């Protein structure tokens, strides 16, 4: 190896060491993990693309690291000079390399976190990242805390637990920007890295693991990171369902066993009943049609049948193991009679399509006879769903399949009772109990699909009906008139319209969706959610349409309140709804209300939105109590802070008292699904965290804020909303600035979701979806929507009376809701960098708008200072050295990608921008550099620019651990 190269490599290592903060603690292996992955990757890069390219990567990394140290704008220009001199193919390889290095850094973090968790060194209150705070809600600890600190009896805890439900709703919001092909390779890299550092590893194991690690790193690097076609809703649903297959299916019974163990440790000798609804799963994938024209009735039908087929397949794959296990001959009379009956009526010929137990099972093995019949039905259930999915019809008779959950549970319960009565309870509590728990959790439909539609679309349908009946225009009627008509129709029996109703495409689409709901088994569906709901008639309209389309078991109707004004008006709207007698009788004392975090944040800024969401929940609970209704709040949280994201445990514990009451419904969106369920141990922790926090919130409610805290926050919210709106909605050139200073216009090219990024193609900020809005500001590391308004609000109350600063600090110390709000903002500041945002301005924004950008950056700095004062901190993240260290480690990679992105946008948007390219440096082994550019032959930009841009967007998103 030539001397220069050795030196270069050594310098990389030395540089890394100088740059990275020292070890935070004895068990801190992060730097070690990161350096190992980086070295392996740089060797692979050199093998594939030559020494010059590797050196260029190292040079860029060093420039970035130096910038991170001193934040001199000059360093960013030096970086820009190197990056703009690369030819198209080289710049694709470099962007891909940095994006890949960031993914590796994330994997090193995950292994480090898992390692520290294993050795139980995790202090309470550590943030891992906003998606997974490790204020670990360990079940055992929660139980012990409740018994020890709060004098709750173990029986009270057991009762509360048996009756609580956490329903996790998976949504395909377009924010998972990493392809599934890559996620799987990342999982294998993570496994290799963890095993390499295991205690009892032999030299041979080590060598093989090292080879496997290099192979997976290379395979991930050689996979195209860019999705070349947008996903369909069916693709999104299949991607979401893959988590059931890989972790959730087996994770649920494993988690429930841990609940049993934790209960045993506080003296409860019973197990959680298998039909206790502790964890439920629902989905929006293929059901959420709000603003997504690609979700058609046919898509909804497809995803339901696909989920049913998957569920039957997974049960079928497990049932033979259960038949093997239950080889006992002792049974109770009830089971013996059933087994004899089944044996007599069974077809005598062998079932050759089965691998095990394919000949007739003798009655001396009664459990196997009964389970054999369950297996036949599962086989037919799967085949029927498969045929309906592929041909629309099926020759499998419905009576040969399982049609409802009771039918499926009955023979399993019979086996369970029989084992227990013969003294074989320990056997019953083995795989059979796990299977029963899976059947109770996933049912025949795997997940329940929610349907979501905008209220306006229902109004259109009813307007068409009233116009057709010649009784006027429903759209023009007052709320009173609408309610009166809807209620008289709901009380009557006559059908409202026949097949002669004139329909536009949109109207047919709404009605056909109801027909699909009527056609499929009712356990396929969850709630019917109405977005933009404001009045009782919005809810009654859906009730009437369900009846008209002959939905046998109508779905529960859930109004969704999102914008600030809607949240304020929500309690009154719900009270009006409950005062309608017909509706009150229909709901049987239960109502669900959904509150949206994304649009409220986009509408008024984070502070006002968070406070309004808090108050709306308190008021809604009061209204429900008044009418004797049990309310379930459905929280529509995004992954990022700007869209209501944040650590699960803290988010639950900071909700107002009495608002959860043992039933919580919450969305798990986009990239958060991977962070919650991507690995077995993540799945386990997610289930544990939700269960423990929900239990704790109910049994140890958080403090109610003092009246003077409320008054202060009310005052602050007004100022914050005013400032936020004065910039975002009233500043005449804000939209122009936003479109120039961020990659918002180019976001749609990432192909990460099936939903258009705008509700209406023209329109300004208000028509932009919350995700691209946050995405664009995250990319430039400015995070404007998250912090804008905070500074003005804090400044206003402190200038008014200096005592208010002490009150704010008091609120931070003693009120979980306020603390979580401030902590999350502080963390976003730690991820922000106005110097990077200034570079985008300088390159992309017209000169007369520069002062506007300067003003916003001054606001960023001032707000940061005020937030730190409120928290009583000197530096950002001073209470969390681990997160601080991880951000420093990631930033050097992110900065290169940011600079690359800014200059690439410049070249895309300004054709006259001249760059001098140096000769091509990447040495390809077997491909010409042209191939890289030809992956995207239809681009309207100069060769290579679009791919470079998309790679930088994906890389930055991975580095900040959030897309939108």
DSSP letters for 518-542: HHS-GGGEEEEEEET--SHHHHHHH
Residue 252 · residue 687 · CB < 8 Å: yes
- Between residues 226 and 510, which one has the greater pLDDT? 510
Sign of CA dihedral 82, 83, 87, 89: positive
Residue 609 · residue 569 · CB < 8 Å: no
Measured CA to CA, the distance from residue 2 to residue 444 in angstroms comes to 64
Structural tokens at position 379:
């086989």
**Cα 787 to the chain's mean position, in Å?**
22
DSSP string, 871-934: HT-SSTTTT-HHHHHHHHHHHHHHHHHHHHHHHHHHHHH-TT---PPPPP----SSS-THHHHH
Q: CB under 8 Å, gap of 24 or more: what pairs does 379-388 form?
A: 379/316, 379/353, 381/308, 381/312, 381/444, 382/309, 382/312, 382/313, 382/316, 385/305, 385/306, 385/308, 385/309, 385/312, 386/309, 388/305
Q: How confident is the model at residue 748 (pLDDT cuts 50, 70, 90)?
A: low
Q: How confident is the model at residue 10 (pLDDT cuts 50, 70, 90)?
A: very low
- Write down the H helix ranges in 801-833: 803-814, 816-831
pTM over 0.85: yes
Q: How confident is the model at residue 240 (pLDDT cuts 50, 70, 90)?
A: confident
- Nearest-5° angle of CA 641, CA 642, CA 646? 15
- Rounded to the nearest 5°, which phi and psi values hold at 228? -85, -15
Mean pLDDT lowest among 152-156, 384-388, 565-569, 601-605 = 601-605
Structural tokens at position 375:
């297996």
pLDDT at 578 over 80: yes
Torsion angle, CA of 490/493/496/497, rounded to 10 degrees?
150
Q: For the stretch 504-531, what's the b/e string if a residue is b when 16 or more beta carbons lie within 10 angstroms of its beta carbon?
A: eeebebbbbbbebbbebbebbbbbbbbb
pLDDT at 249 over 70: yes
Residue 70: which residues within 8 A CB-CB, separation 6 or more? none
Structural tokens at position 793:
């609000």
Structural tokens at position 640:
């990022």
Q: How confident is the model at residue 646 (pLDDT cuts 50, 70, 90)?
A: low
Q: What percent of the chain has pLDDT over 70?
A: 87
Structural tokens at position 43:
């060797």
Residue 561 CB neighbours (<10 A)? 29
H or E element that contains 452:
strand 448-454
173 labelled catalytic: yes
602 labelled catalytic: yes
What average pLDDT does the structure give for the chain? 86
**Cα 228 to the chain's mean position, in Å?**
23
When computed from its CA atoms, the radius of gyration of the chain, rounded to whole angstroms, is: 30
Measured CA to CA, the distance from residue 704 to residue 816 in angstroms comes to 10
- Rounded to the nearest 5°, which phi and psi values hold at 742? -135, 165
Give me the pLDDT at residue 17, please.
53
Residue 126 CB neighbours (<10 A)? 18
pLDDT at 11 over 70: no
Give me the pLDDT at residue 224, please.
80
Q: How confident is the model at residue 238 (pLDDT cuts 50, 70, 90)?
A: confident
Residue 89 · residue 922 · CB < 8 Å: yes
- Write down the H helix ranges in 549-679: 564-578, 581-587, 598-604, 606-626, 648-653, 671-677
Question: Coil, strand, or helix at residue 448?
Answer: strand
Q: How confident is the model at residue 781 (pLDDT cuts 50, 70, 90)?
A: very high
Torsion angle, CA of 14/17/19/21, rounded to 10 degrees?
-170
Measured CA to CA, the distance from residue 183 to residue 806 in angstroms comes to 47
- Nearest-5° angle of CA 111, CA 191, CA 37? 65
H or E element that contains 666:
strand 663-669
Beta bridge partners of 528: 451, 557
Measured CA to CA, the distance from residue 961 to residue 106 in angstroms comes to 8
Structural tokens at position 896:
């290169």
Residue 916: which residues within 8 A CB-CB, separation 6 or more? 85
Residue 932 CB neighbours (<10 A)? 22
- Check residue 474 and report its DSSP letter: G
Q: How confident is the model at residue 911 (pLDDT cuts 50, 70, 90)?
A: confident
pLDDT at 298 over 80: yes
Residue 60 · residue 85 · CB < 8 Å: no
pLDDT tens by residue, 700-722: 888 899 999 999 999 999 999 99
Separation in Å, CA 693 to CA 151, 262, 536, 897: 18, 15, 33, 38
Give the active site residue among 75, 185, 343, 602.
Answer: 602
Measured CA to CA, the distance from residue 216 to residue 219 in angstroms comes to 5
pLDDT tens by residue, 277-291: 999 999 999 899 887
Give me the pLDDT at residue 588, please.
94
Q: For the stretch 665-678, what's the b/e string if a residue is b when 16 or more beta carbons lie within 10 angstroms of its beta carbon?
A: bbbbbbbbbbbbbb
Measured CA to CA, the distance from residue 481 to residue 781 in angstroms comes to 51
Measured CA to CA, the distance from residue 647 to residue 133 in angstroms comes to 5
Residue 304 · residue 450 · CB < 8 Å: no
pLDDT at 246 over 80: yes
Measured CA to CA, the distance from residue 532 to residue 530 in angstroms comes to 7
- What is the rounded average pLDDT of the residues 555-579? 94
Give the active site residue among 96, 173, 227, 377.
Answer: 173
Measured CA to CA, the distance from residue 377 to residue 411 in angstroms comes to 12
- Check residue 767 and report its DSSP letter: G
**Cα 62 to the chain's mean position, in Å?**
35
Sign of CA dihedral 191, 194, 196, 200: negative
Give me the pLDDT at residue 478, please.
96
pLDDT tens by residue, 384-441: 999 999 999 999 999 999 999 999 999 999 999 999 999 999 999 999 999 999 999 9
Beta bridge partners of 554: none
Measured CA to CA, the distance from residue 673 to residue 154 in angstroms comes to 33
- Nearest-5° angle of CA 125, CA 129, CA 134? 35
Question: Coil, strand, or helix at residue 683?
Answer: helix
Residue 741 · residue 836 · CB < 8 Å: no
Residue identified by tokens 């141990």 is: 681
Residue 266 · residue 729 · CB < 8 Å: no
Q: What percent of the chain has pLDDT over 90?
A: 56
pLDDT tens by residue, 648-695: 777 888 889 888 888 999 998 877 887 788 888 889 989 999 999 999
Measured CA to CA, the distance from residue 312 to residue 385 in angstroms comes to 9
pLDDT at 939 over 70: no
Give me the pLDDT at residue 132, please.
39
Picking from 611, 964, 560, 678, the residue whose alpha carbon sits closest to that of residue 820 is 611
DSSP string, 236-304: HHHHHHHHIIIIIHHHHHHHHHHHHHHHHHTT--SPPPTT--SEEEEE-TTTB-TT-TT--HHHHHHHH
- Between residues 9 and 541, which one has the greater pLDDT? 541
pLDDT tens by residue, 789-839: 999 999 999 999 999 999 999 999 999 899 989 988 998 899 999 999 999
Give me the pLDDT at residue 925, please.
47
Q: How confident is the model at residue 762 (pLDDT cuts 50, 70, 90)?
A: very low
Give me the pLDDT at residue 754, please.
52
Measured CA to CA, the distance from residue 449 to residue 287 in angstroms comes to 6
Residue identified by tokens 């229909």 is: 586
pLDDT at 926 over 90: no
pLDDT tens by residue, 78-110: 999 999 998 888 888 999 999 889 888 888 888
Q: How confident is the model at residue 766 (pLDDT cuts 50, 70, 90)?
A: low
Residue 599 · residue 638 · CB < 8 Å: no
**Cα 387 to the chain's mean position, in Å?**
32
Measured CA to CA, the distance from residue 21 to residue 554 in angstroms comes to 58
Q: What is the total residue count of the chain?
A: 964
């Amino acid at each position: 190896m030539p001397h220069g190269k050795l030196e270069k490599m050594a310098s990389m290592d030395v540089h890394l060491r100088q740059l990275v903060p020292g070890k935070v603690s004895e068990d801190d292996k992060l730097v070690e993990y990161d350096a190992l992955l980086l070295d392996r990757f740089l060797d692979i890069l050199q093998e594939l693309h030559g020494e010059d390219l590797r050196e260029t990567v190292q040079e860029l990394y060093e420039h970035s690291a130096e910038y991170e140290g001193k934040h001199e704008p000059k360093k960013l220009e030096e970086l820009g000079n190197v990056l703009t001199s690369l030819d198209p193919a080289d710049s694709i390889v470099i962007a891909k390399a940095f994006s890949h290095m960031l993914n590796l850094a994330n994997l090193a973090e995950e292994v480090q976190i898992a390692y520290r968790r294993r050795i139980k060194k995790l202090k309470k209150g550590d943030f891992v990242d906003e998606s997974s705070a490790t204020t670990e809600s360990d079940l055992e600890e929660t139980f012990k805390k409740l018994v020890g600190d709060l004098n709750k009896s173990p029986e009270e805890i057991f009762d509360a637990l048996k009756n609580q439900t956490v329903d996790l709703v998976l949504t395909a919001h377009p924010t998972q920007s990493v392809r599934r092909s890559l996620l799987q390779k990342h999982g294998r890299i993570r496994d290799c890295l963890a095993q390499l550092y295991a205690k009892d590893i032999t030299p041979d194991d080590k060598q093989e693991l090292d080879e496997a690690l290099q192979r997976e790193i290379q395979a991930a690097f050689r996979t195209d990171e860019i999705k070349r076609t947008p996903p369909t809703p069916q693709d999104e649903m299949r991607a979401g369902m893959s988590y059931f297959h890989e972790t959730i299916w087996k994770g649920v019974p494993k988690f429930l066993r841990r609940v049993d163990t934790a209960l045993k440790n506080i003296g409860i000798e019973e197990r959680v009943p298998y039909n206790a609804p502790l964890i439920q799963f629902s989905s929006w994938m293929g059901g959420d049609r709000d603003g997504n024209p690609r979700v058609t009735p046919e898509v909804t039908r497809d995803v339901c049948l696909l989920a049913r087929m998957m569920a039957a397949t997974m049960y079928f794959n497990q049932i033979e193991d259960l038949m093997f296990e239950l080889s006992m001959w002792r049974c109770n009379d009830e089971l013996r009679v059933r087994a004899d009956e089944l044996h007599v009526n069974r077809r005598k010929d062998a079932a050759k399509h089965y691998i095990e137990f394919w000949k007739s099972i003798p009655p001396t093995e009664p459990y196997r006879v009964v389970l054999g019949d369950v297996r036949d039905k599962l086989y037919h259930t799967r085949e029927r769903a498969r045929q309906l999915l592929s041909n629309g019809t099926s020759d499998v008779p419905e009576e040969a399949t399982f049609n409802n959950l009771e039918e499926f549970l009955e023979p399993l319960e019979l086996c369970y009772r029989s084992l227990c009565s013969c003294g074989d309870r320990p056997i019953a509590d083995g795989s059979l109990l796990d299977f029963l728990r899976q059947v109770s959790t996933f049912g025949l439909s795997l997940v329940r699909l929610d349907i979501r539609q905008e209220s306006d679309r229902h109004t259109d349908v009813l307007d068409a009906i009233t116009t057709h009946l010649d009784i006027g225009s429903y759209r023009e009627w007052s709320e009173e008139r609408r309610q009166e008509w809807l209620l008289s129709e709901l009380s009557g029996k006559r059908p409202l319209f026949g097949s002669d109703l004139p329909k536009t495409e949109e109207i047919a689409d709404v009605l056909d969706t109801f027909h699909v709901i009527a056609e499929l088994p009712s356990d396929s569906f969850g709630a019917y959610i109405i977005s933009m709901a404001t009045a009782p008639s919005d809810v009654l309209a859906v009730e009437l349409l369900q009846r008209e389309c002959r939905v046998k078991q109508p779905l529960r109707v859930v109004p969704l309140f999102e914008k600030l004004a809607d949240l304020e008006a929500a309690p009154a709207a719900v009270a009006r709804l409950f005062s309608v007698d017909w509706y009150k009788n229909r709901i049987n004392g239960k109502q669900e209300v959904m509150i949206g975090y994304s649009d409220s944040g986009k509408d008024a800024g984070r502070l006002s939105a968070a406070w309004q969401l808090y108050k709306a929940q308190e008021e809604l609970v009061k209204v429900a109590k008044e009418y004797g209704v049990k309310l379930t709040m459905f929280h529509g949280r995004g992954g990022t802070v700007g869209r209501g994201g944040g650590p699960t445990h803290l988010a639950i514990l900071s909700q107002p008292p009495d608002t959860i009451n043992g039933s919580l419904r919450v969305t798990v969106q986009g990239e958060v699904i991977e962070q919650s369920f991507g690995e077995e141990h993540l799945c386990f922790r997610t289930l544990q965290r939700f269960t423990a926090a929900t239990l704790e919130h109910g049994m140890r409610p958080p403090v109610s804020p003092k009246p003077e805290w409320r008054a202060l926050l009310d005052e602050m919210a007004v100022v914050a909303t005013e400032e936020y709106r004065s910039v975002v909605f009233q500043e005449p050139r804000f939209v122009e600035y936003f479109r120039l200073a961020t990659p918002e216009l180019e976001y749609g090219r990432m192909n990460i979701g099936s939903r258009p990024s705008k509700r209406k193609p023209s329109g300004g900020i208000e028509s932009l979806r919350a995700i691209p809005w946050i995405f664009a500001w995250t990319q430039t590391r400015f995070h404007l929507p998250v912090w804008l308004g905070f500074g003005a609000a804090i400044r206003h109350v402190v200038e008014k009376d200096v005592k208010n600063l002490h009150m704010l600090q008091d609120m931070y110390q003693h009120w979980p809701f306020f603390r979580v709000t401030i902590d999350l903002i502080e963390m976003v500041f730690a991820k922000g960098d106005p110097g990077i945002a200034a570079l985008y301005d300088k390159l992309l924004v017209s000169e007369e708008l520069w002062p506007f950008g300067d003003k916003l950056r001054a606001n960023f700095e001032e707000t940061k200072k005020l937030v730190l004062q409120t928290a009583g901190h000197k530096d950002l993240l001073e209470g969390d050295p681990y997160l601080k260290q991880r951000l420093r480690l990631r930033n050097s990679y992110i900065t290169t990608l940011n600079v690359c992105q800014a200059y690439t946008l410049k070249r895309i948007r300004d054709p006259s921008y001249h760059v001098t390219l140096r000769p091509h440096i990447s040495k390809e082994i077997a491909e010409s550099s042209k191939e890289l550019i030809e992956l995207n032959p239809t681009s309207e930009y100069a060769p290579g620019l679009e791919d470079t841009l998309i790679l930088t967007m994906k890389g930055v998103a991975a580095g900040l651990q959030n897309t939108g």
